[in-house]
Amino acid sequence: MFDGYLWAKTLHIVLIASWFAGLFYLPRIFVNLAQETNDVAYERLIGMAQRLYRFMTILMMPAVALGLILWLYYGVGRGSIWMHVKVLLVLIVIGYHLQCKRLLKQFVQKQNTKSHVWYRWFNEAPVLLMLVVTALVVIKPNS
């Protein structure tokens, strides 16, 4: 039997996990790019980063759309404080995703000014965001 809610929820979870895998890995490529001195290796890393960013973006769009469907159509978290906090955090994750695009463009143009250490710290943000969002969804404080 087809249950739209369960399929939307399942696909949302899989797409979010896949999108975040890219958000975890792309900054690791940035760490390597910030240290790379060999032009051939640098270009290979640029190609990897560009392909990953495109794929991440393809994953992000239906993940966010399904989240909105779950919230606005199926009523998941409707009227709950935890959902409003989650939506704010998702907007921050989208901002992080767009910041990755800006940083990638700087690498492509060979205009990076940040160190590999900065990118190591930058890489921690999606981990913390995913932890907090997951805790909100599972624990549902003040619901």
Quick: pLDDT tens for 81-132: 999 999 999 999 999 999 999 999 999 999 999 999 999 999 999 999 999 9
Burial code of 87-100, b = ≥16 C-beta within 10 A, e = fewer?
A: eebbeebeeebeeb
Question: What proportion of the chain, given as a percentage, has pLDDT over 90?
Answer: 97
Q: Which two tokens stand for residue 33?
A: 């790019």
**Residue 43: pLDDT over 80:** yes
**Residue 19: pLDDT over 80:** yes
**Residue 1: pLDDT over 90:** no
* pTM listed for this prediction: 0.94
Q: Residue 116: how many CB atoms within 10 A of its CB?
A: 14
Nearest to 64 by CA among 21, 98, 15, 25: 15
Cα separations (Å) of 121 from 67, 70, 75, 98? 28, 33, 36, 17
**Residue 7: pLDDT over 90:** yes
Residue type, 60: M
Q: Which two tokens stand for residue 99?
A: 């910041």
Q: How far apart are CA 22 and CA 113, in angstroms?
A: 23
Q: For residue 142, what pLDDT is reported?
A: 80
